[in-house]
Amino acid sequence: MAVPGTERLDRFLADQLAVSRTQASRLIGTKAVRVNGQPGRAGRALKHADTVEVRFAPDERPRTLVPHPITLDVVYEDDAMLVLDKPAGLVVHPAPGHWDDTLLNALVARGTRLSGGGSGRPGIVHRLDRDTSGLMIVAKQEVAHRRLSRAIGARKVERHYAALVWGHIRAPVEIEGAIARHPTDRKRMAVVATGRAAQTTVEPLARFAVCDLVRVRLATGRTHQIRVHLAHIGHPVVGDAVYGGGGSRRITGSDRPLAETIERATPRHALHAARLGLIHPVSGVPMVLRSEWPPDLQAALGCASGDASLLARPNPLEYLGFFE
Residue 84, domain member (yes or no): yes
Report the CATH number that the domain containing residue 208 is assigned in CATH: 3.30.2350.10
Are 192 and 276 members of one domain?
A: yes
Confidence band of 206 (pLDDT split at 50, 70, 90): very high
Are 203 and 88 members of one domain?
A: no
Mean pLDDT to the nearest integer, 221-242: 96
Report the CATH number that the domain containing residue 17 is assigned in CATH: 3.10.290.10
Are 99 and 169 members of one domain?
A: no
d(CA 48, CA 300): 41
Are 129 and 32 members of one domain?
A: no
Residue 64, domain member (yes or no): no
Residue 67, domain member (yes or no): no
pLDDT in tens, 126-165: 999 999 999 999 999 999 999 999 999 899 999 999 999 9
Residue 88 has pLDDT above 80, yes or no: yes
Q: How much is the pLDDT for 3?
A: 47
Residue 97 has pLDDT above 80, yes or no: no
Residue 63 has pLDDT above 70, yes or no: no
Residue 227, domain member (yes or no): yes
Just list the catalytic residues. 129
Q: Which of 127, 153, 179 is the last residue of a domain?
A: 153
Are 135 and 219 members of one domain?
A: no
Residue 324, domain member (yes or no): no
Residue 265, domain member (yes or no): yes
Residue 65, domain member (yes or no): no
**To the nearest whole number, what is the mean pLDDT of the chain?**
89
Residue 98, domain member (yes or no): yes
Residue 117 has pLDDT above 60, yes or no: no
Are 147 and 163 members of one domain?
A: no
What proportion of the chain, given as a percentage, has pLDDT over 90? 64
Say how many C-beta atoms besides its own lie within 10 A of residue 59's C-beta: 5
What is the full DSSP assignment across 236-253? PBTT-TTT-TTGGGG--G
Q: Which of 153, 174, 189 is the last residue of a domain?
A: 153
Q: How much is the pLDDT for 1?
A: 52
Confidence band of 60 (pLDDT split at 50, 70, 90): very low
Provide the number of structural domains found in the chain: 3
Are 88 and 200 members of one domain?
A: no
pLDDT in tens, 256-311: 999 999 999 999 999 999 999 999 999 999 999 999 999 999 999 999 999 888 88
Q: Provide the 3-class DSSP secondary structure of residue 109.
A: helix
Supply the range of the domain harboring residue 40.
7-57
Are 126 and 260 members of one domain?
A: no
Q: Which residues lie closer than 8 Å to 236 by C-beta, 6 or more apart?
A: 165, 166, 227, 230, 243, 244, 245, 247, 250
Overall size of the chain counted in residues: 324
**Residue in 149, 20, 136, 17 with CA at minimum distance from that of residue 88:** 136
Are 138 and 15 members of one domain?
A: no
Q: How much is the pLDDT for 31?
A: 85
Q: How much is the pLDDT for 49?
A: 72
Are 288 and 175 members of one domain?
A: yes
d(CA 160, CA 177): 19
Are 302 and 179 members of one domain?
A: yes
Are 99 and 196 members of one domain?
A: no
Question: Which ranges of the chain would DSSP assign to H, the alpha helix?
Answer: 9-17, 21-29, 103-110, 142-153, 225-232, 256-264, 298-305, 308-312, 316-319
